[in-house]
Structure 1
C-alpha cells in the first residue's frame, strides 16, 4: 500500500509556493524547490537558484544546471584566478517533473545532452537543438574547467531525476539507463566521480526536512570566559573536526562572513604549513595569531563550546591550512590553536569586529563591502518599504521572506549601474565584477546619494521583473537579457531625462508606476533587441545600449537630451 508521501509533498509544495513565490506555476515552483533541496549545502539565494533554471523549449529535458568551484557558484564572468590548489569542480544537472513517475525518456535526453554539450571542444554555435540558456549554463562549466585544467581539478558530475509522483521503486531498466548515463559522462571525463540519483516523493521530503547545520560543537583543552565571549585552546584534531561538522568536507558556510578569500601560496601561508609539518615540538598557538569566530550564541559546558551560527571572520588562512594538514597527516595532533569566540546579534557590532580583526594585515577594500555604512543604510531603508536587502546572504530567505521582496547586493549594483551610470550592458555582462572593482563600486554605492534612490531602484527592478515574467512569449533567457535595458529605459522615461542623477531617481513616485509604462519600455527594447539578433552577445555588447539611447533622445526630445559629448 502506498504511503502518504505524495500527498504530504503536494501540501508542502502548495504552502511553500504561496509563501515564497506565489506568482509562478506549480511546475516552475517545483523546479525551484528541487534545486533548493539538492543544493541545500551550497546555500544558494533565490536569485542564484532562478539563474540556473534553463527550462523551456529545446531544453534537452534539463530544468536546471549549476556548477561550482570549491563551493562557489560559477557565473558568466566567474574569475578562476584565485583558485591555485586543491581545486574541486562540481556540475549538477537536474530534471524536475510534476507529472508521471520515472521513465526512460528523460534519461535518454540526458545521455544525448551529455554527449553533445559536455565535450570540451564542442562548437556550440553548430549545435542548434538546445536553447541558449542550456548552452550558456553548460558553457560556464566548460569555461571554468578548461581555465583550471593546469590545476588538475577533481570533478564531480551529479545528475538528478526528480518526480513528485514517483515512489521509491526504480525499475531495473531505469537503473541500466542510469548506468549508461554515467558511462557517457565518464567517457568524456575519465577521472570524474559521476552519480545519478532518482528523487521520488519520499526522498524529496527527506531532503526538505533536512536543515543546514547551524549549531556546531568545539571541544577545548583550556578556556577563559567573559560576558559574550570565550577565548579557548582547542587541539588541531578537534578544530579540524569542528571545520568539517558532521561530514568529511570543510563546511564552506563557516566562512561566509570572512572578508578574505584563501590567498594561496603566500609567505604567511608557507609559514603556517611549515609550522604544521615541521614544528611538532612547539605549540602551534605560540606561532600563530589564531582564529576569531562570531556567533549568535556560544555556551561552554565542561570541555565543549556549543556555537550557534558560527562565522569564522578572521583566520581563514589558518583554518584552511589546518584542514589541508589533516588530508595527509596520520593520527591525532594534540597541538593547540587559539580560538576567540564572540557572541553578538548586533549587526553594527559584528561589522566592527570583522573590520577590526582584519585590519592588522592588508585587505583589499572590495572585500569589506558588506560592512560599509552605506550597505547597512540601504538595508534599513529597504526594510521600511517592504523589501529586504540581502547584505547578510540568505538571512531573509531563512526568515521565510517572499523571494520577490529580497534584493541581493549584486542585483542592487546591477540596478544602479543601469539607472544611474546608464550601463545596462555592463550590468548584464559582468554582474560580479561590479562589486569587486573599487572604482565602479564607489560610483554605485555612495553615502552622497539620497538613500531613497536605492529603495526606488530596487522597487523598479521588481516591477520590471514582474511584468516581464507575465509575458509568456519571453523565455527566461530573454528576460535576463532584457531586464536591465527595460529598467534603464523606464527610469529615463519616469524622470524625463536620458541621464537621470540619483536625486532624480529619488523623486520618482514608484507607487504610481503602471504596468503599462513598463510594457511600453519592454516593447521598445524588444524591438531593438530583436532587430539586432536577440542573443546573449547582443545584450552584453554596446550596440543595443547605443541604439536604445538614441531612441530615448528622440522620445524625450526636446527636453533633457544628453550633451553631444556624452552621447554614445
Structure 2
C-alpha cells in the first residue's frame, strides 16, 4: 500500500461529510463511506445505506447488514418482483473500523455471531446473544426472501467485508485463518452458496472512491448507418464491440446506464434462455446473424457525433434492451473469445434533451405487461410536479434513483418516491400502520397509487407530509446515541399523532394538513407523544409487538386516535 493512501482516503471521507451529514461522528462517517464504496456496483441510495446500517449496541460486530434481491435492495415484498427462475440473493455483511490496521477482535466477534444469525433454524427468541432490532430486522428480511424464493432455485452469495484504513496486502496469517474459519462455518449452513471474506483496506476504498461514471461513450459500428438530420441513428454493432461499450475497465456491466430502463433483468426466463441459446450457437453472420432474431437495443442520448466508424454519444441511457444487453455481457464474460464472433446487434440511438420527450420515449419503448408498472410512475406529470415543488422548498425528490446523490446533494434533504408515498399515507391519509407495508404496491397498484398521489391535491400536502416525518426521524434517531434507530412504523405513529394533535381531529381530510405548513414537531412534542403512546400501550389489550414500549399494531393506533381526537371536528 502506498504511504499516502491513508492521507488521501481521510481527505475524501472528510469531503463527503456535507453529503452524509455534518453531525456524524468520525467513526459513523467512515462507516457510511465504506458502505457506499463496498456496495458501489449496486448504486445504493442514501436510503438504501440507512436501511442496512445496523451499528450500535448489541450489533454482534455487524456494522452493516445488506440484502439484495436481483441487485435491488431487499424489502418485505421483494419476492413478488424477483426473477421467476434463478433470482440472485446477495448478502453483504460489513464490519468497519477506522483503525490504521486490521485486528483479530472484529473477526472473532463475527465468528461468534454470524454462525447463529444466518442459521435459519434458530428462531429470534432462541438466539444466544441479545441482538439489536436493526440486526434482527435484516435477519428476518433475509430469511423471508430466501424462504419465499426457495422454489425458484435462487443463487445465493454471502460476502463478509472487514473494512479499515489498514493494508489489505499485509494481512497477518492468524487473521486470515480466522476469516477462513468464518467462511467454513457459513459453508456448513448453505449447501449451494458462494461465500467470501474480504479485507478492504485504505487502497481498496480509495480505488473505489476514484471510480467515475462515464456517460459519454464511443460505440463502434459496422457498415453504414441510417440517420435523419443527425437527430437519430440506426446502426449495427459487432456483439464484441457492444460488450465493451457496456463494460467498465474491470469488465463489469455499467449498470448505471440503465437508470431509465424500467425493467430489471429477469434472470433465466424463456426470453433470456432463447437469447443465450442464440449466442451460444456460434453461427457465422452469414448463417444466422444475431440481429435477425433479436429486436435490438434503444439508447437515449443528448448529443452524438460520428468519427470514422464510431458514434460518440453523450449522456447515454439504455432505455430498452436490458435483457439483450445483460445476456450478451454474461456470454462474453464467460470466456468467449470476442474476435471469433462477427455477428451484430441492432442499436437505435435517439437524441432528446427535453425531459418530457425522453419520458414519452421511455414509456413507449417499455409499456408491456412484463414491466413492473411502478417503475414507470416516476415519469408521470404528478411526479414531475412534486419534484419541482419540493426542489423549490429545498428538498430533492429522487424519482430517478440517485440523480441528486450524484449531484452531491445532502443525504438528509433527499427523499425517494417510496419514502414520500409512505409519508403521505402516514400523515395526509392518516394510515400510519399501513404506510410501510407492501411498499411496491404504493406504485404498482393503480387504486393505491392514485389515492396517494392525487393530482387534485395542493402540492403542499406532499411537502408537509415529508417535513413532519423527516423531523420526527431527525429527533428520535439521534444517530444511535440516545435511542436505537426505530422502525419506520414507530416514526409514522408519532408523526400521525402529532398531525391529529395539531389539527385537533381524527379523521381528517388529506388537504387539511396544508394548515401545518411550517409547523414542525420539536423534541418536547415527540417525547411527550411517545410517552403518551407508551402509557396507552400498557393498558391496551390489543395484540402486537412493541418498540420503546409502544404497541405497533393498526388497531391500537386507530383506536387511540379515535378515542382521543374523534368528534372534535366534523369531516
Report if TM-score (shorter chain) is over 0.5: yes
Within 5 Å, which residues of 2 pair with 1:199-218?
A: 199-218=200-219
**1:252 aligned residue (252, 255, 258):** 255
Partner of 2:493: 485
* Contact in 2 for aligned 1:469/1:479 (Cα 8 Å): no
* Mapped partners of 1:274, 1:196: distance in 2: 34
Deviates more, 1:73-82 or 1:264-273: 264-273
Deviation at 1:492, TM superposition (A): 1.8
- Choose from 284, 292, 297 the match for 1:291: 297
> CA separation of 1:7/1:94 partners in 2, compared to 1, >3 Å: closer, same or farther?
same
Q: Quick one: distance in 1 between partners of 2:427 and 2:81? A: 31
Q: Contact 1:383–1:389 (CA<8 Å) still a contact in 2?
A: yes
Matched, 1:198 2:204: no
Tell me the secondary structure at the aligned position of residue 434 of structure 2. helix
**Are residue 301 (structure 1) and residue 307 (structure 2) matched?**
yes
State whether residues 168 and 202 of structure 1, in contact with CA within 8 Å, keep that contact through their aligned partners in structure 2. Answer: no
| Structure 1 residue 354 corresponds to structure 2 residue 359 | no
The number of residue pairs the alignment matches comes to: 560
Question: Which one of 317, 330, 341 corresponds to residue 311 of structure 1?
Answer: 317
CA contact (8 A) 1:481 1:536 kept: no
Cα distance change, pair 330–61 in 1 and its aligned pair in 2 (3 A) = closer
Alignment check: 8 A CA contact 1:80 1:148 kept: no
State the match for 2:71 in structure 1: 71
Kept in 1, the 8 Å contact 2:165–2:202? The answer is yes
C-alpha distance in 2, partners of 1:326/1:256? 23
Deviation at 1:107, TM superposition (A): 0.4
Q: Does 1:379 align with 2:387?
A: yes
Q: Is the 8 A contact 2:215 2:314 kept in 1?
A: yes
Aligned with 1:230 (options 229, 233, 248): 233
Between 232-241 and 450-459, report the one with greater CA deviation: 232-241
How much has 1:276 moved relative to structure 2? Answer: 4.9
Do the aligned partners of residues 269 and 356 (structure 1) sit closer, same or farther apart at CA in structure 2, a change above 3 Å counting?
same
Q: Is the 8 A contact 1:31 1:63 kept in 2?
A: yes
User: 1:88 touches 1:155 (CA, 8 Å); kept in 2?
Assistant: yes
In the superposition, the TM-score normalised over structure 2's length comes to 0.88
Equivalent position of 1:282 in the other structure: 288
3-state secondary structure, aligned to 1:53: coil
Which range is displaced more, 483-492 or 82-91? 82-91
In structure 2, what is the Cα distance between the partners aligned to 1:57 and 1:431? 29
- Determine the C-alpha separation between the residues in 1 that align with 2:476 and 2:458: 28
Structure 2 residue 247 is the aligned partner of structure 1 residue 239: no
Distance 1:275 1:167 in 2: 42
Structure 1 residue 342 displacement after superposition: 2.3
Deviation per CA, 1:169-204, whole angstroms, max 9, x where unpaired?
A: 322211221221222222223443322222333332
Judge which range, 127-136 or 299-308, deviates more.
299-308
Encode CA deviations 1:10-42: one digit per residue, 9 max, x unaligned: 333233213431122222222211100110111
Aligned pair partner of 2:559 in 535, 538, 550: 550
Aligned to 1:13: 13
After superposition, where does 1:150-549 map in structure 2 within 5 Å?
A: 150-164=151-165, 169-222=170-223, 223-225=225-227, 226-262=229-265, 276=279, 281-323=287-329, 326=332, 331=337, 332-359=340-367, 365-470=373-478, 472-476=481-485, 478-511=486-519, 513-528=521-536, 537-538=545-546, 544-549=553-558
The answer to whether the 8 A contact 2:59-2:135 is kept is: yes
Equivalent residues of 1:157, 1:194 under 8 A apart: yes
Task: Give the alignment of 1:113-128 within 5 angstroms.
Answer: 113-128=113-128
Partner SS, residue 439 of structure 1: helix
SS in structure 2 opposite 1:95? strand
Name the SS of the counterpart of 2:195 in structure 1. Answer: strand
Q: Secondary structure at the match of 2:170?
A: coil
**CA offset digits 1:36-75 (Å, max 9, x no partner):** 0110111010011001011122110110111223312212
CA distance in 1, matches of 2:18, 2:267: 45
Deviates more, 1:387-396 or 1:548-557: 548-557
Query: Residue 565 of structure 1 aligns with which residue?
Result: none
Deviation at 1:507, TM superposition (A): 2.9
Contact 2:218 2:245 in 1 (8 A): yes
Shift of 1:559: 1.2
Q: When the two structures are superposed, what TM-score results if normalisation uses the length of structure 1?
A: 0.88
* TM-superposed deviation, 1:398: 0.6
Label 1:329 to 1:139 Cα distance change in 2 as closer, same or farther (>3 A). same
Q: CA RMSD, aligned part only?
A: 3.2
Say which is worse superposed, 393-402 or 270-279, in terms of deviation.
270-279
Q: CA deviation at 1:361?
A: 7.1
Q: Which moved more, 1:59-68 or 1:507-516?
A: 507-516
